[in-house]
Structures are given as C-alpha cells and as structure tokens.
Amino acid sequence: MKKITSFLIAIIATIGVQAQDFQGMAVYESKTSLDEDMSRFGNREITPEMKKMIEERMKQMLEKTFILNFDKTASIYQEEEKLDSPNQGGGRMRMMMSSMTGGGGKHYKNIKDKVFLIEKEIFGKEFLVTDTLPKIVWKMEGESKKIGNYTCYKATAIVPVDKSNMMNFRPKKGAEQEMEAKNEEEQKSTNFMDMIEMPTEKTITAWYAPEIPISQGPENYWGLPGLILEVSDGKTTMLCSKVVLNVKEKAAIKAPKKGEKVTQAEFEEIMTKKIQEMREMYQGQGGRGGRMRG
C-alpha cells in the first residue's frame, strides 16, 4: 500500500511540475558546528566560561533559515530575515559574521543556462558574483531514508571549497602540537592565521527526493534527479523542513543585479586580500577591522 501511495504522489508531482506556470518553495534550516580543534589553540587567555559563552553565541548566529523558490529551470535562494534577539549581540555582530563568511544576499542559479549569480557583501562593499554553474559529479550510494513525507536517496560528491568563506578554514597539520611546545609568551605572539589553512576540496553528502522531479537544491547544489532536501559537508548541514509545490503566491525568480560584477575566482581573491589585510592589522598590537579598501 505504501509503495502504491508513493507512486501516486510521484505521478501527481510530475504532472504538477510539467505545468507551464509551475513554481515551488522549500524551507531549509542550516546549522554549522564549530571546529573543536581550532578552538583548542585559539586565544589561551579566554576563560572556559567566556569560551562557552562565545561558542553558544556563534552557534546561534550560525543557525539560519533559508527559502528556496524554484521553477522548472531556475531558483532563488536567500536567508529568511529575522529580528535579532537581545542575547545575540545585535545586528552589527551578525553583519561582521556575515562578512567573514562571504555573506550573501540573493543566490540565483539557472540549470538550463548553467549560470549562477550571488549578491555578496564584504564590510559594506557590494559584489555580484557571476559565473558558470559548476558541474557536480554525483555518486549514487544506494541508501534511502525518509525526510518528512518524502523517500530520499543518498548521493555524494567531491566539490571545490569556497575560499571566500572563513568557516572553511581548518587547523594546519601539527598546529596544536606546535602551540603546546611554545611557552606562554610565544603563544601570545603567535598569529592565529599562521596556524590554519584553507583546503582545496570537500566531500558533500546529499539526500534527494525523486518524488519532486526538480534538479535543484540549496546554494549551488544541483544536478540530481530530484529536489535536494538535505546536504552536508561535515561541518554545515542544510535540512529541508517544509516543501510547497504549486505555490499560490509566486515569487519573482529573476537574476539579481545589485553590486560590482566579479567572477567566483575574482571574489575569492578579493576575500583572500581582505583576510591578509586583517592578518596584518591584528599583527603586533592588533586593531579593529574596517571597511573594504578600494
């Protein structure tokens, strides 16, 4: 009986998707775990209580809700606007965090034309990242599980790392042991940026629903025979909490136009220079990050 019901749902969904004016909406909850290895050799002067408070606050800021509006060929993915809670440090801290993770506004991708455009902002300067949609070579794993009412199937892939997102940094091999070998004064004078590195690629795990025959997903994830309802890179997980097909109030799924147009590689280079600028600023006496130069 369950197989018959699933088959009927798939048929109805397919018919709905084929409609000329089809549009759907999916809500994703994003959670990012902090790297424990990095926190172990971070600031040695922070008390355990202060460290716990900072980690809790960062965890709250990294828990986000995103909305994906999609039709048969294109989609718009963006964060749901929320009011800051009094204990979250206010909008300024959230804006700083957004800048350090290559903060974005609207994220548009067109799987027919194989292009994507993302609104990005770094410390007050706006960019429009425009590039070819990267092809993802998926490996079907043969596993399945339920996400809500949908039977989803597992797929994995190795993809390049977004070098504009500082959350992708990881400790260098042997960095913790190197810090442990230093005395207190040497630890204080060690630049944290010298102890971390940016990997070139990462493994992602996705779960897609063939009952929703749309080759879309959150961020730049696409290319599977069904809507991606969950995707994880081991640190950040995006899980779909709601799907609405054939929405009554249709969204404008159009390419964004705001910001200075750059390619993905150019934006990563800009972000790398900004990180280097901050590294030099905090060397020695330290200081406060300002607006983008140029």
Given the structure tokens 């159009």, which residue do they identify? Answer: 254
What is the torsion angle, in degrees rounded to the nearest 10, for the CA atoms of residue 78, residue 83, residue 85 and residue 86?
130
SS3 content of the chain, % helix, strand, coil (to 5): 30, 35, 40
- Assigned token pair, 152: 């989803």
- At residue 294, the pLDDT reads 47
- At residue 285, the pLDDT reads 47
Given the structure tokens 């990267």, which residue do they identify? Answer: 134
Helix runs in the chain, H state only: 2-17, 36-40, 48-61, 90-100, 175-180, 184-189, 264-282
Q: What is the DSSP letter of 154?
A: E
Residue-range domain boundaries for the chain: 2-282
- At residue 176, the pLDDT reads 66
* Helix and strand element counts for the chain (H, E): 7, 14
- At residue 81, the pLDDT reads 77
- The residue among 79, 118, 109 whose CA lies nearest residue 215 is 109
3-state secondary structure of 243: strand
Contact assessment for residue 107 and residue 128, using Cβ atoms and an 8 Å cutoff:
no
238 bridge partner residues = 30, 231
Beta-carbon count within 10 A of 211 CB: 22
- At residue 163, the pLDDT reads 80
- At residue 157, the pLDDT reads 98
- At residue 271, the pLDDT reads 87
pLDDT tens series, the chain, 294 aa = 555 445 545 555 555 565 567 899 999 999 887 665 444 444 555 667 776 776 677 777 778 899 999 999 999 999 987 665 545 445 555 555 555 555 568 999 999 999 999 999 887 889 999 999 999 999 999 999 999 999 999 999 999 988 887 777 777 676 666 666 777 676 666 666 666 777 888 999 999 999 999 999 999 999 999 999 999 998 899 999 999 998 888 899 999 999 999 999 999 899 888 877 777 776 654 444 444 444
- At residue 78, the pLDDT reads 94
- At residue 30, the pLDDT reads 92
